[in-house]
Amino acid sequence: MMRLASRCWSRVGERGLSTGQLQVALEPLDGSIFMLTLNRPDARNAIGRQFLRELKESLDNLVLERSTRCVIIKSSVSRVFCAGADLKERANMTRQEASAFVRDLRGTFSALEALPMPTIACVDGYALGGGAELALACDFRVCGTGAQFAFPETRLGIIPGAGGTQRLPRVVGTPRAKELIYTGRRISAQEALDIGLADHLADSVSAEDRALRLARDIAQGGPVALRMAKQAIGLGMEVDLASGLLVEEACYAQVIPTQDRLEGLKAFAEKRPPVFKGE
- Whether the CA torsion 134, 137, 139, 141 is positive or negative: it is positive
Task: Look up residue 125 and give its amino acid.
Answer: G
- Whether the CA torsion 44, 195, 142, 65 is positive or negative: it is negative
* Contacts for 66 with CB less than 8 Å, ≥ 6 apart: 223, 278
Distance CA 149, CA 21 (A): 27
Catalytic residue among 54, 65, 89, 133: 133
Sheet with 125-128, strands from edge to edge, namely 79-82, 125-128, 148-150, 187-188
Distance CA 10, CA 192 (A): 39
5 flagged as catalytic: no
What is the SS3 assignment for 137?
coil
91 flagged as catalytic: no
89 flagged as catalytic: no
Distance CA 248, CA 10 (A): 47
Catalytic residue among 130, 144, 163, 278: 130
Catalytic residue among 5, 85, 135, 192: 85
Catalytic residue among 54, 65, 89, 153: 153
153 flagged as catalytic: yes
Active site residues: 85, 130, 133, 153
